[in-house]
Every structure is written in structure tokens, then in C-alpha cells.
Structure 1
Amino acid sequence: MARGRRRRRRGSGTGECTQSQSNEKVRCSNHSATHTLILFHDGKLSEHWAEASENRPKTRLIQELGNQNIVQIACGDQHAMALSRGGELFTWGWNTHGQLGVGSQTRFTHKPQLVERLKGIPLAQIAAGGAHSTTISLSGAVYSWGKNSFGQLGLGDTKDRDCPTYVGALEHWKTVFISCGADHTAVLSKEGLVCTFGAGGSGQLGHNSTRNELLPRVVSELWGARVSNIACGRQSTLVYVLSLDKFYFCGSDDDGQLEGDRKPNQLIPVPINSPLNSGKSCQKKNASKKGIKIIAGVNQSFARCKENKNSYLDGIATLEDKEVDAWISNSKCCESIKKSIRLIFSSEACINGSFLDKRDKHFKTSKEVSGVDMSEVKRFYKKISKKQTIYQEVQNVIRNLLPSLSSSPVSPENFRVYLILPFLLQEKDGNSFLSLILLAQAIMKLQPEGLQTLECLWSNLETSFFKELVFLYQRVSQYILCKFVMEFITMKPGRLFRLDPAETGPLEILHILYQVNSRTGFRVHESNFYVPQVREIINFCACYNTVTVLYKLSKYPCIFDRENKIHVYTTECRALTNISAIPLIHTSEPWKFCVRRQCLLQDIRKNLKSASKQDFRKILEVSFEGEMGVDEGGVSQELFRIAASTLCQPSTGTFCHFPSGLVWFPRQASNCEDEDTFLLIGTLCGMALFNHCTVPFPFPRVLYKKLLDLAPTLEDLEDLLPTVGRSLGRILNEESDSLDLDFTIMEGEDSTDVVELKENGANIPVTKDNRKEYVDLYVNYMFNKSVQKPFEDFMQGFLRGCPARNWKIFFPEELQVLLQGHTTFDWHLLEKNVMYRGYEKLDRTIRNFWTVFHRLPEEKKKMFLAFLTGSDRITGYGPECFRFCIADPRAENPDELSPRANTCHLILFLPRYSSKKILKEKLLYAIEHNEGFGLA
């Protein structure tokens, strides 16, 4: 509390609240006047009871709050509340019903206890009932706790609460004031509506009955009156309507506290004469011009004229433009300015209460709406960044706050701090980076539900702010990894084998932001997430043949561009196969895999059956029985191509084939000739990936999503079954309530088999309310439930065939290209990557060859690719990575240089001085007959 007499503090409670004429103290009493709090001008708080007891003295100075700046106080029958300017709420006294809000372990305490559950929520007002307590946040959220025998907490039941509980029934009601009676509560909205709930036995709720109300209910008799102020007596409610300059009363008037003859129980609000103001009347001629503070007590009800409506409520500290301008204009960052900065930026609640959207949007604060005006945050940053002394002080205070941020927030209002602070830490210096690292650590400590709320708020940020948030965490991730590399280079080579947990926080945040970005339609290009420094780490890991750090970094695939992902994966594969990158030397024997063309699948099974776990870590070396050739990748590619083509034949019955040209697992795996078929297919796919080959099974992209443990969607079903997918999409958009469907699906060749999507699904109609559930269950059945066994076999085989684990770094579409190859080609890039032996790039024969090649139809070009590699697709490592060689047969003996195999001529021997016509003839003949040309 500010010292001296220039500020006035008013109490807020259920009973009498008065201020001395000299402005030296504020008094707050309960209804029976047995308990009184006095807040002095010097900030000290004293407590007075009508009688002393064993647990408490009659009068005492509350020394425990001596260093707190108290702005509001409230008294219950036997408990007290105090709100500090720093946003902390303290309670003490009896806790028989949980009215202290600190749990049920404590029955009584004379020492003020911090209400931890409200930490970080910017409170606007506090109020105490007989044995219950309430608060309002700056955005109108109401919290209640304590005794609830009559429903006075507004939670829909009569169960006591020992911790603050959000009153969901008042969500977005724009509550601006609250008052408590002995066992009832009244709230006032910004629009002037009044809700009451709790005990109604004396008519104090104003609903023309004596019934208790468990949920907030609007007082209909006051509808349209635009109430200005409310106050609850012990069993009564008093309101004031400024526009009419009238007071209305309902409830019990047993003590005769109002002028005129009134019934003991007034069931609806009725106008009354102006109440007495402690013996001094408030002149009506001024009442319409000035705010009115009304207090309803057990012995008296009175009104007090004030200059501003509700001015008797002092609030927590929040940023004000004038105050900030004063900071900037001051030549030095004096102690008073530092004190103001510390007051606000050392408090979650004060930060969360600042920068509220002035257009009343903050009253709609929820998991989707933050209530923060982000442009105001940016404007504040621009102001203070111009004055480094102020900015550094703000930074220092924020950095000290970060480790204490709550890991279990209870309200969406708590999460504003995570939106605001990053935009105040934008300086490109070590201090800002350190603060962002600490903030990232605090975010990662959030409970799953809290993190989900923050992700939702991130997803609803304007694109410009979301992009800037990505940039901040991408920049600090760069800083961390650059520092990591420098430490390794200079003096800490052991750093290559570890990455401190503290350093992964920003990477975690960046990864989560990427996931949010993908769910919201990729508003920010994925290149904004790349961290270039990872390439140096990859190179070091390749040099030292270790993948320890890469395993950790691979958890954050968004930081890698496609090329770096490939390098990460190939580095791991080399480490597993004991191949040194520099120089590239094999240090282990290859896995010799001999097969016969005419018995290919049987021989593959035989080889796999006898294989050890270690064999799958070796480089695959395939040979076809009776055929010459050294496998440098091409023969292996031929094996996978033929195996995939054979298994995909409709006659085998292995897969379900669709008009889209795609294949999918059968719903009955027993249709397959061998029970281990999908184990075999999965193993082949894993082996192909590990050996950098393609295996052209025409799977839909959903397979790769399932491999990466991502949930299939309706779009995936439309990819496989366009007609069914579009039909389900129409169901989601159907306006009619009657959809003539139930929770079943017809399947089988004749569509006669009925499968229930949920228990008793045949008797559950699909309606407008449950249609999304129906579509979700349909998708889940098609891609998960119906193919569970064959996919599990496939996954088991895949993990066996590919001992590397960093394939998970790829996104589904990238993994699909890796295994199935590119279907679109840049033929000029292919030309650019060719190597020559015995030729120069500008030799006439070479120029003639490429002239002829580029004039070929697309289909013939793909046939040429199949002639070279055994597949009409370029390996998933990209056209830029694909290489082949054109050699002069006169300069080198082809048979000695590369024994001829029936597949994969990665060295093309081109006769010198060939004309364009001859080259075209030989080229077409070679690709159509799968024979090399230019050879005898």
C-alpha cells in the first residue's frame, strides 16, 4: 500500500465499511460487528474481536502482512480476507467450511495464508459472506469457496468447497461487482443486471419466493433497470439504480433498519426512501451526479456519495500509459521507478491484468480468447526498449519471476503471462535469451491440460504475432545450438554426447508451435522453424560416428530442413553399420542376400527366417542366382521392386485394391496365403528404408501417418475412397436433423456384412448432434479397428527391418517419398548431377546425348530411369542426390570396371562420336529392351 494520506483505501466486505474523516484508516466489520479489520494510512492492518478466545486475542496487529501493500479487506463471521496491490490474496481465521480457500487441513489459523489457487489471476474485488468467500477477476470471472449449504457458491449443488472454484454459470457475464450476505450472494454485471443465489428463506434473493437457488439467477424485477450498485445484508439485498436515483430492497427487515413500514420478508425488490448515512443524509440532488456506495448491515443500511462509481475499490497494480511515460521521461531509473517496475513485473497477476483488450473482449476470456491486446504489448515494448535502463530493469524483474510461474493454472487468465512475456524479451542479447530459456522451461512444466490451453491460445493469435513468436523461439534455439557447437569446438568435446535438459526447452516450444501451425493450416511457412546450426552438429556426429545428440534433436523435426533430415538419418544408418564418414570405409561384412528370380518371395522368406538381429544392421548386398553384377544399390533396388510388384498383384489377394490405384490392408488378414505376409511386407519396407532404396507399394499417405503414430482424418479417407470421403463430408455439413443413418457400416463384397461402429450402434440414429462422432468412428474403423492385426504385423516387421530410429524425424509426406520415390522429376537437374569418365561436359557426344534425351516423351524418360536404376522413380533422397556416370568404353573396359548385371546400370557407357540419330536409336532400343547400349 502506498504510504501517506494521498491515497484512500476502502474495504470490501459483507458488513460495515467506513473511513475516518481524516482518511487515516479504513474499517471493515462483519454483519454482527463482532469482527473488525482496520487498515491504517501507513499500511498496517489490525484485527479486533468483540471477545477474546483461546485461539485469538481480542486485538492484535497483523504483523505477517507488514510488508504487503494491501488494497482491499473483507470480513466474514469468523474469517478475514486481504488483497495486496501485488495481486496476492491472503485469508485467515476459522476454516470450518473451507472458507479460507487453502484446503481442509487447517481448521483455524491466525496467520494470513496465501490462497495459492488464485495465484496469477488478476483479482478486481473480494467479498466475504458468513462462512463463504468470493472474488472477481478483472475479466469478470467469479470464484467462490467455503460453506455451500444453501447454494451460496453458485455451483449447482450444496457441497462445501475448500479451494476457490470457478463459477461456470457466470461465464462471460461481465461481472463487475459482488456482495455476500450470511448465506447468499449477489453479483452485478457491467450491463446493470443482478444475479442472486444461495439462501432465499427471507426473500433476500428477490425472486418472489423463499426458495434457495443453487445457481445464479437473474432478478427479473430489476430487468432493464440498469443497476449501479449492490450490497448484501445478513438476510437482505439492497441495490441502487443511478438513472432512477432509487434504492430497492428485498429480504428481511427485522431490525427496522429501513425507514417506513416494511414487511419482515420482502420477496421482490421494492423502492425505498434513501437510507441513512450513519446519521447524515445523502442529498438526492447530488445523487444522480455522483457514484453511490451502499452498505447493508445488520444494524443499519446507508449510502455514501462518492465522485466515481465503485471508487471505494482500489485494485491491484497494472500498467498505465501515464506511469510508463513518466518512466521514459525521467532522466534516470530512480528507486521509485524501480519499485513500480518490481511491483508489476514480479507478479503474475499484475502482468495478467495489464494489456487487457479495452473493447471488452477480455470479458470473453476463455481457452480460445486470451483477452490480451497484443498490439498494446508491442507498443509498451517499443516504448521501454528506447531506454535501456528501464528495459534492463524490466528484464531483470521478469527473469526473477520466471522460475516461480505456476505449473497448475486454474483459469485461462493465468495464461496471459505466457503470451505477453515473449514479446517483452526481444533484445538480441544473452539476457533475453536466458529469459526465454527460463520461460520455455516454465511452459514445459505446465500440466497437460494447461499446455493444451496455451496451445489453443497460440492457435488463435493473429498470424503476425504467431509468426513473431515462432521467430523468437527459433532465434533462441539457434543461440543454444550455436553455443553448443562452440563449446565442442573449443574445449568440451564431451559436449557432443549430451544436451542439457535446460537447453531443450526452446526446442520443445518451437516443436509445439510447429504442431499448432500445422493444425491451423500452415499460416507460417515451415522454413521459419529451421535451425541452420544443426548441420554442423550432424557433421560432427558423422565424424565421430556417434548419434547420441542426434537422437535428442530428432525429437524436434521442425528444426531440420529436408536435406538435414536426410543427413541425420543417413548419419545414424552409417553409425549402425559401422561405416566411417571420413573416409567412407566399411568396417563390417555386408549381409549377402542371394535369391532366385523364379522363387523370389520364397527365397526372401528363407533369408529373413535365418537372419539375426545384427544382420539387419549390415549393408544389404543382393545377388540374383546365375546373374553377374556387383550390388552397389541397384541390385537391391531390383529386389524390392520385383517383390513389391509381385505382392501387389490382385491375384495374390494380399491387398484390397481401390479405383484410386492405391492398396490397403484387408479387413481379414487370413485371406492371405501366409499368415506372416504382412510381417514380410513390413520387413521389406524397413529394409528398403535402411538401405536407401524405394519399395513401390502404392500405399496411401495414411500408412505413413500411422507409422508416425498420427491419427487418420477424413481427408485420408477421401484420398483412399474419394466418393465415401465426400459423402461423409456432406454429412458433417448437412442442415437436416434426420440423416437416415445409424452407427453401423456395411462392408464385404456384396455390402451385406453389418458392423456396429459402437455398442448397440444399430439402434443409435445419426443426428446433427452426434454426426461428428459417427464420421470419426467411421474413419477410425476403416484405418485402425478393421485392420488392426495386419497393421500390427506390418509395424513389427518394419521395426525389425529398419534398426535406425531417426526415420521418425520425417513428416508423413516425406516418409512416403523416401519409400515410394519421387513421381515428378527435374530432368535438367539430373543432367546437372551426372559425372563423366573419359568425357568432358561440352564434348559433342555428350551434347548430342542430352539433346536427344530432352526431346524424348516423358514416358520414355521414365523408362530410361528404370533402365538405370531398376525403378521409374527417383530414390526418396531427392533428384539432387541422384547420381549416375557416363563413361567412354574406349577409355575403360566396362566388364572390368563394373561387371554387367541385368539391372541398374549406374554407369552408362556411351560410344564416342555418336550422331544424334544413332544415339536416339540406341537409347530407345536400350530402354525398351532393358539392355545396355554402346557395348558389344
Structure 2
Amino acid sequence: KTAVRVSCGEEHTAVLTKGGAVFTFGSGRYGQLGHNSSQDELRPRLVAELWGAKVTEIACGRFHTLVRTDSMKVYSFGRNDQQQLGRGEDSPPSVPLPVPLQQLCATSGLVIENIFAGGDSSFATCVHKKDLCRRLKNDETPPSVENMVDTWISGCDSKLLKKIKKEIHETFSSASCMNRSFLSQSKDKHFQTSPDYPGLDFSLAQSVFKKLLKKEVLSTEVQAAVVQLLPALDGNPVGVEGLRVFLVLNELLHVIQKLKKQPNTRLAEEVAAAVQKLSPENLQIIDSKVTDVYKRDFFHHLFLRIVSDKPEMFMFNDSETLVWFSSEASEENVVNFYLFGVLCGLALYNNSIVHMSFPLVLFKKLLDVEPTLEDMIEFSEAVGGSLKYILDYEDDDLEDQDFTFKIHWDGMDVDLDPQDPQKAVTSQNKKQFIDAYVNYAFNTSVEKVFQEFQRGFFQVCDQRLLKLFHPHELQGMLVGEAVYDWEVLRQ
């Protein structure tokens, strides 16, 4: 059954279906469920006494319930200690019985328009029949988004442009309007929204955006409205319906990418920032619906935005060609590394390149392979070269070179041997020094943040499956290959 309205009392709930049936559940101690008993109901149960009448409105008071039918009859049931049922005290309170309103209204030429339930009271509004007919006639269905767009396009070069811009702004700066505009109306499928089905008409969204983006003045107004909407989006919506707007925005960016020679980079970055605020569970739902064509561009802008907004999370090598985790991450950023790991896992899962040049050591650590001097040489030729020089030094006077176990890494001075801060590097302990240096840079200094990153990454990717790969293979899948066979490319 498709639910169209829900009303709640203090301890019971009533649900109205599209077909006009009423279901109730919860406490029934005062007969407020309408099942001719005072039993509680754990699951929604049809109010059989209303069967045959098409109910159009429901209202729950604290311990009583009201319903109105399409024939303008009002029924009540439940507690009646304050005469809130509007009928005789001797009538059974747990059975839906009519309230003698219709006869009163008929003598004055009135019909019941709406019903309301207070805590221990009931209300009904009445209007003259001719006024109700006039209201129903004037109560037109809102125009579809397709009709609105056709109107905007035909009038965008006229004096109506100011009004059109206002309507565009109202439509695309509101998440609820965006959601409503592109619902799948076929057989009311949007009522079946779930994590597996968004209830959206994607072909309609593509068609609408293609029309709008071909008119520069309309395109500019739509993108400006969306940029204003994005900061207000909830990162943890109450239901999956609240995620629809992200999928609509995906279609907008997809169309922009196809039609515009110079896409709006700011818009893509703002969308990426809004998506970044979603919880990992919601990210996975969104990711499963994002079209493959757009995924690469989506992840590209998302990772660029992360580096731009959270530079303190990362450190770069001297040539700024490789990136590694910062050893000075705050507690807030430690949490962000978990989300970053989730995003990297999603990128790998979707065969999308992460546009951040991580060294091989990251993928070694993910596969439980210990870092080595070669990893330091890859990340920093200066530091790695110095360590290689020490390792290869063959004379016995290494201590005369004034190397100590005190190093400088990521803007900080660090004692690799806290028990002996001035400990000199000698021919006997040089291997110990190099191992300690590499271990501090790639393990000790980033222990917390890497654990969070790893936890988020394996939240998405199967750790046992990834164990089948070598580190350089995993690196190629996530960040691409850095070495190209130019002869093959020339062919």
C-alpha cells in the first residue's frame, strides 16, 4: 500500500493510503485504533470498520482519531472523556462512528473542508459548497518542470527575464524543489524510494538541463542558484529521499561536462565539497547511483578540493610531485583521514584514478609490507640520497661526519633515540639509524592517521582480495602509472 499521509497521537499512529484505506498501530487502550477493542497493535492494521468508504483526511489527537471521507462524512473513535469524539457518550468509543456534522452543515448550505485534532479536542472547518467548488477549480496542479523550462526559454529574451530568473532561483536553490521536479511519476514509483532505488526520472533531468544550458543566460542563473543551495545541504539527511538532490546535481554536472567547452570548475568543486560532508554510508548509496561517465570527473574534483581545503592533512616532497600524510594532523583531521580512506576505496571500487600522487610506500603499508630505504629515495631524493651515502660509506671515520640520531622531518626536530639525544651515527650503527629514520617517517609519525585511513579504505574494499596484488599493481590501479612507454604511444 502507498502511504500518502501520516498522523500521530501520543501513543498511536494512523496512516492513510492512496486508495483511501486507514491503518493504525500503537496503543489501543482507549479504542483510538478503531478495531473495536482496546488491544495494542505492534504492526499497522487496517481499520476494517471503514472499509468501503474512501478516506481523504486523517487527524490524531492525544488519545483519539478523526477521519474524513470523500462524501464529507467525519468519523471519530478513541477517548471521549472531554467529549472530543463529538457524539453520544453511550456509543462505543473503539468503533469508528459518524459525527453528526453533515446534517448541521447541510441546513446552512455548508460542506466540511478540513478536520483537525487537538490534544483533547476536535475541530472542523466548513465552507459554502459553491466556494469549495470554486477553490477546487482554481487549485491547478503546479506546472511540470518541462513546461516551466519551455516557458523560460521562450521568454528569456523578453521583458519577462527578471521574473524568469526569480523562478529559476526558487526552483534550483531549494533542495525540496529540486527533488520534486524530477520525481519518477510512472506508477508513483517515487513512493518506493530506497537505498537501491532513488525514485528519480534521470532522462527527464538530462533533457531539462540540456535545454537550459543551451541558453547562456539561463545556464548562468541555474548554476548560480545551485552554488547558493550547496552550503545548506544536510550531510546526514533523515531519509534516503534527502539524497536525491545529489543525484540530480550529478546529472547537471554530467550535462555541463558534455555541452560546455569550459565547464564551471567552481560548481564541480562546490558539489564535491557538499558530497564530502556526507556520512560513509550515504556516500556508498550515492556512489552506487553515480553514472560511470561522470565518476572520473567527480573524483578528480573531489580530491582536488580535499587538498585545497585540508592542506594540513598532507605533506609534499621537495619537488611537490609526491604526497604523504602529515605527522602534525589535529584530532579533527584524524577523523577526516577515515573519510579520506573511504573516498579512496570508492575511487578504486569504481575504477577511477585518485588525482593525488602517493608513493609506493602507501600501497606497501596497505598490504602489510614494511617500508625500506628505496621508499625514502622515491619520496625524497635529498633525504634518501643522504641515507644511501651513509649506508655506502666504507671508511671507519663516519662519526667524524657529525651525523646524529636527531633528524628534521615534516618541519619538526625528532630524536630517533630519546634515551641518547646526541647519539652519533657510526659505522656500527648506521643501519640501525637508517631503519629508524625510515620507520619514523613512514610508520611512527603517521601511525594514528594511517590507521584511520586504512580503516576507511577497507570499509569499502575487501582486504583479503587486495592481498592478491603486489604494491606496484595496487598503486597503478589507484593513482595510475607514472612511467609511460612512449614508443607504444607513438604507434
Q: Same fold (TM over 0.5)?
A: yes
Would the aligned equivalents of 1:251 and 1:264 in 2 still touch at CA under 8 Å? Answer: no
SS in 1 for 2:94: strand
* Deviation of the 1:713 alpha carbon: 9.9
* Deviation of the 1:434 alpha carbon: 0.9
Aligned twin of 1:266: 93
SS in 2 for 1:612: helix
Separation (CA, whole Å) in 1 of partners of 2:13 and 2:340: 46
Aligned twin of 1:814: 470
Cα distance change, pair 515–402 in 1 and its aligned pair in 2 (3 A): same
What are the ranges of 5 or more consecutive residues in structure 1 without an aligned counterpart? Answer: 1-172, 484-492, 502-507, 535-549, 558-566, 581-585, 593-607, 619-685, 687-705, 718-809, 820-875, 882-936
**Alignment deviations for residues 362-417 of structure 1 (CA, whole Å, 9 cap, x no partner):** 22333333222222221221121111111111111211222232233322222222
Candidates 137, 149, 152, aligned match of 1:324: 149
Candidates 217, 220, 224, aligned match of 1:392: 220
- Matches for 1:605-754 after TM superposition, within 5 Å: 612-616=431-435, 710=458
Separation (CA, whole Å) in 2 of partners of 1:707 and 1:228: 51
Aligned twin of 2:115: 295
Candidates 282, 287, 291, aligned match of 1:458: 287
Q: Which amino acid aligns with 2:277?
A: K
**Alignment deviations for residues 4-46 of structure 1 (CA, whole Å, 9 cap, x no partner):** xxxxxxxxxxxxxxxxxxxxxxxxxxxxxxxxxxxxxxxxxxx
Aligned twin of 1:578: 385
Cα distance change, pair 411–232 in 1 and its aligned pair in 2 (3 A): closer
Separation (CA, whole Å) in 2 of partners of 1:713 and 1:445: 21
Candidates 325, 336, 358, aligned match of 2:185: 358
Candidates 417, 434, 453, aligned match of 2:266: 434
Provide TM-score, normalisation by structure 2.
Answer: 0.60
Candidates 48, 62, 65, aligned match of 1:237: 65
**Alignment deviations for residues 102-154 of structure 1 (CA, whole Å, 9 cap, x no partner):** xxxxxxxxxxxxxxxxxxxxxxxxxxxxxxxxxxxxxxxxxxxxxxxxxxxxx
Would the aligned equivalents of 2:363 and 2:472 in 1 still touch at CA under 8 Å? Answer: no
**Alignment deviations for residues 815-835 of structure 1 (CA, whole Å, 9 cap, x no partner):** 28699xxxxxxxxxxxxxxxx
Separation (CA, whole Å) in 2 of partners of 1:363 and 1:211: 30
**Alignment deviations for residues 792-842 of structure 1 (CA, whole Å, 9 cap, x no partner):** xxxxxxxxxxxxxxxxxx9851328699xxxxxxxxxxxxxxxxxxxxxxx
Separation (CA, whole Å) in 2 of partners of 1:615 and 1:388: 60
Cα distance change, pair 251–452 in 1 and its aligned pair in 2 (3 A): closer
Candidates 356, 359, 367, aligned match of 2:195: 367
**Alignment deviations for residues 566-586 of structure 1 (CA, whole Å, 9 cap, x no partner):** x99973274542189xxxxx8
Aligned twin of 1:111: none
Q: Which amino acid aligns with 1:350?
A: C
What are the ranges of 5 or more consecutive residues in structure 2 without an aligned counterpart? Answer: 309-317, 330-337, 365-373, 395-426, 438-442, 444-453, 476-480, 487-491
Q: Which amino acid aligns with 1:439?
A: V
- Matches for 1:172-251 after TM superposition, within 5 Å: 174-179=2-7, 185-197=13-25, 200=28, 202-211=30-39, 216-223=44-51, 225-232=53-60, 236-242=64-70, 248-251=75-78
Aligned twin of 1:900: none
**Do residues 412 (structure 1) and 240 (structure 2) align?**
yes
SS in 2 for 1:408: coil
Provide TM-score, normalisation by structure 1.
Answer: 0.34
When you count helix as a share of all residues, which structure comes out higher?
2
* Deviation of the 1:330 alpha carbon: 0.9
Separation (CA, whole Å) in 1 of partners of 2:21 and 2:166: 39
**Alignment deviations for residues 455-511 of structure 1 (CA, whole Å, 9 cap, x no partner):** 12322x2xxx52133133256479889x9xxxxxxxxx997799999xxxxxx9998
Separation (CA, whole Å) in 1 of partners of 2:3 and 2:342: 34
Aligned twin of 2:410: none
Would the aligned equivalents of 1:277 and 1:302 in 2 still touch at CA under 8 Å? Answer: no
Aligned twin of 2:206: 378
Separation (CA, whole Å) in 1 of partners of 2:47 and 2:181: 33
Separation (CA, whole Å) in 2 of partners of 1:405 and 1:552: 35
Would the aligned equivalents of 2:12 and 2:25 in 1 still touch at CA under 8 Å? Answer: yes
Would the aligned equivalents of 2:345 and 2:460 in 1 still touch at CA under 8 Å? Answer: no
Would the aligned equivalents of 1:255 and 1:299 in 2 still touch at CA under 8 Å? Answer: no
Separation (CA, whole Å) in 2 of partners of 1:221 and 1:272: 15
Separation (CA, whole Å) in 1 of partners of 2:363 and 2:224: 30
SS in 2 for 1:209: coil
Aligned residues: 393
**Do residues 515 (structure 1) and 334 (structure 2) align?**
no
Would the aligned equivalents of 1:474 and 1:510 in 2 still touch at CA under 8 Å? Answer: no
Cα distance change, pair 480–235 in 1 and its aligned pair in 2 (3 A): closer
SS in 2 for 1:813: coil
Would the aligned equivalents of 1:275 and 1:303 in 2 still touch at CA under 8 Å? Answer: no
Q: Which amino acid aligns with 1:388?
A: E
Would the aligned equivalents of 2:3 and 2:18 in 1 still touch at CA under 8 Å? Answer: yes
Aligned twin of 2:167: 340
Would the aligned equivalents of 1:319 and 1:355 in 2 still touch at CA under 8 Å? Answer: no
**Alignment deviations for residues 829-873 of structure 1 (CA, whole Å, 9 cap, x no partner):** xxxxxxxxxxxxxxxxxxxxxxxxxxxxxxxxxxxxxxxxxxxxx
**Do residues 469 (structure 1) and 469 (structure 2) align?**
no
**Alignment deviations for residues 692-748 of structure 1 (CA, whole Å, 9 cap, x no partner):** xxxxxxxxxxxxxx999848999959xxxxxxxxxxxxxxxxxxxxxxxxxxxxxxx
Cα distance change, pair 588–311 in 1 and its aligned pair in 2 (3 A): farther
**Alignment deviations for residues 891-931 of structure 1 (CA, whole Å, 9 cap, x no partner):** xxxxxxxxxxxxxxxxxxxxxxxxxxxxxxxxxxxxxxxxx
Aligned twin of 2:392: 590
**Alignment deviations for residues 36-74 of structure 1 (CA, whole Å, 9 cap, x no partner):** xxxxxxxxxxxxxxxxxxxxxxxxxxxxxxxxxxxxxxx
Q: Which amino acid aligns with 1:295?
A: I
**Alignment deviations for residues 212-254 of structure 1 (CA, whole Å, 9 cap, x no partner):** 6676543233356553333446764343444x88654434677
Separation (CA, whole Å) in 1 of partners of 2:139 and 2:61: 19
Q: Percent identity?
A: 28
* Deviation of the 1:205 alpha carbon: 2.4
* Deviation of the 1:424 alpha carbon: 1.7
Cα distance change, pair 813–234 in 1 and its aligned pair in 2 (3 A): closer
RMSD: 5.7
Cα distance change, pair 421–414 in 1 and its aligned pair in 2 (3 A): same
Cα distance change, pair 347–222 in 1 and its aligned pair in 2 (3 A): same
* Deviation of the 1:328 alpha carbon: 1.5
Separation (CA, whole Å) in 1 of partners of 2:462 and 2:358: 32
Cα distance change, pair 517–392 in 1 and its aligned pair in 2 (3 A): same
Larger radius of gyration: 1
Separation (CA, whole Å) in 1 of partners of 2:138 and 2:77: 24
Separation (CA, whole Å) in 2 of partners of 1:370 and 1:401: 20
* Deviation of the 1:200 alpha carbon: 4.5
Separation (CA, whole Å) in 2 of partners of 1:321 and 1:879: 48
